[in-house]
Amino acid sequence: MATTTTQEETTAAYRKKVRDYLGHQDPLEVLGSTPDTLAGLVLEHGRKRMQVRPIEGKWTPCEVLGHLCDCEWVYGYRARLILCEEHPPILGMDQDLWVAGQHYNEREPMELAEEFRQLRSHNLRLWQGLSPKELERTGQHNERGQESLGLLRVLMAGHDLLHLDQMKRLLMAIV
């Protein structure tokens, strides 16, 4: 007999996976260190290597970097919605369509790393200035349900670590 996974189970599994990457690390420290880590990976491996697709059907390291740029835009917008509006609706995104539609694998990886650095710098100021009361503010994600700013910050930091790990594994798979 086949079992069906509910949206609540999928959400719980996603949140657990991302939180497990973060562990006991301070989310603000992770968010602050990611731009340097990304730039270091690009410098170490270079453009050509970042654009190799080592696993058919999976993103290249450059596309992962582009996805992180997208997420910085999206999460920054979501954070501001939650901060400034009362329990706003939050829309999900189709990350694969965003990555493909913006042709990230054709972009210069160091330019993407710099774009990410600038976006993160702008958003990090917001995250660092939030009070405990503001971190309790919530929005209603159309796929994952209610999310507070505090949860969003934790998910962002874990998401960074998940994709940094993904990039490193992809780069190791390139022969």
**Paired sense of beta strands 89-90 and 138-141, if any:** parallel
pLDDT, tens digit, 9 for 90 and up, residues 112-133: 999 999 999 999 999 999 999 9
Length of the chain, in residues: 175
At a CB cut-off of 8 Å and minimum separation 6, what does 12 contact?
none
CATH superfamily of 26-173: dinb family like domain (1.20.120.450)
At a CB cut-off of 8 Å and minimum separation 6, what does 150 contact?
135, 136
- The dihedral region occupied by 145, where left means phi > 0, alpha psi between -120 and 50, and beta the remainder, is left
Alpha helix (H) ranges present in 23-148? Answer: 27-50, 61-84, 95-101, 109-129, 132-135
pLDDT, tens digit, 9 for 90 and up, residues 53-101: 999 999 999 999 999 999 999 999 999 999 999 999 999 999 999 999 9
pTM for the model: 0.93
pLDDT at 166 over 80: yes
pLDDT at 1: 61
pLDDT at 175: 77
pLDDT, tens digit, 9 for 90 and up, residues 11-62: 999 999 999 999 999 999 999 999 999 999 999 999 999 999 999 999 999 9
